[in-house]
Amino acid sequence: MKKKSIAFQGEHGAYSEQAIRKLSEELPITIPFRSFWEMLKLVSEEKVDYAMLPMENSLAGTVIPAYDALIESELFVHAEVMLRIEHCLMAPEGLKIEDVRFVISHHQALAQCSEHIEEEGKEAKEYYDTAGAARDLATSEMPFTAAIASELAAQTYGLNILRRNFEDLETNTTRFFLMGREAMECSGECKTSIIFTTEHSPGALFSVLGELSNRGLNLTKIESRPFKKEMWHYLFFVDTQGTVADKQVKDGIKAISDRCSYFKFLSSYRSANYEM
């Protein structure tokens, strides 16, 4: 049987690739891309089977480029993955932590490790990607420099881990969506995700959300983003517990779609385990 291919943003060793490994016991073919839009497009064109999309971080919040790419995509959510982010400080063999002067990584990783960087007396330098920083550190001449990335990145590029759990807070977790071309059936503990926009009128959003509330549905997330097709209009991303196979969810979605000027169903999918 042919292995499935899963696209992710970043370089090999990225946290998105680690999320893929957490999801699948049989390691699929993983393909790195620079942009979220490009990898979702190739899934739509059937050149790649799936894409792993980071949606939000428990400390840094929404991954805005991922949400914007999702709006333009016609793909559906197949699964939710929660990944505990464990930052590692790493360097080429032979460099001791006391000799490190500079630390390179993505700006979010640097921010999430800022207290430890300051305690160690190092200078932080922004890089485009965590795994990219690890890769370039392993292949380029960067004296007195360490990188912050995943343990997978250290293994991938042969770097020595100087400190594990270098993040300032242990609650650092990223939520991912596995995106595919068809909506999935879901049973058990499920969530349903939708996107919509309302008319500009008093109580319009209250009225729409009331369709879910009146049916006893529990919202687990609501997020707004500008609607690029209409100036000063906003798209709302909503997650609710339950599956579209449930009558109350199905009826609520039908009522919402009738009230909205724009509506998009992202699928019902198995809820990830929130335990760390």
Active site amino acids: 174, 176
Q: CB-based contacts of 198: which residues, under 8 Å, 6+ apart?
A: 204, 205, 207, 208, 236, 259, 260, 261
Cα–Cα–Cα angle for 114, 115, 120, nearest 5°?
A: 100
Question: Cα–Cα distance between 38 and 222 in angstroms, integer?
Answer: 26
Contact predicate 78/138, CB 8 Å = no
Number of other residues whose CB lies within 10 A of the CB of residue 111: 15
Query: CA angle at residue 132 from 130 to 136, to 5 degrees?
Result: 125
Bridge partners, 52 (sequence order): 8, 178
Q: Could you tell me which residues come within 8 angstroms of residue 151 by beta carbon, excluding any fewer than 6 positions away? A: 86, 88, 161, 164
The single-letter code of the amino acid at 169 is L
DSSP state of 214: T
User: 213-240 b/e with 16+ CB inside 10 Å = b?
Assistant: eebebeeeeebebebeeeeeeebbbbbb
The token duo for 153 is 């990145």
Distance CA 202, CA 98 (A): 61
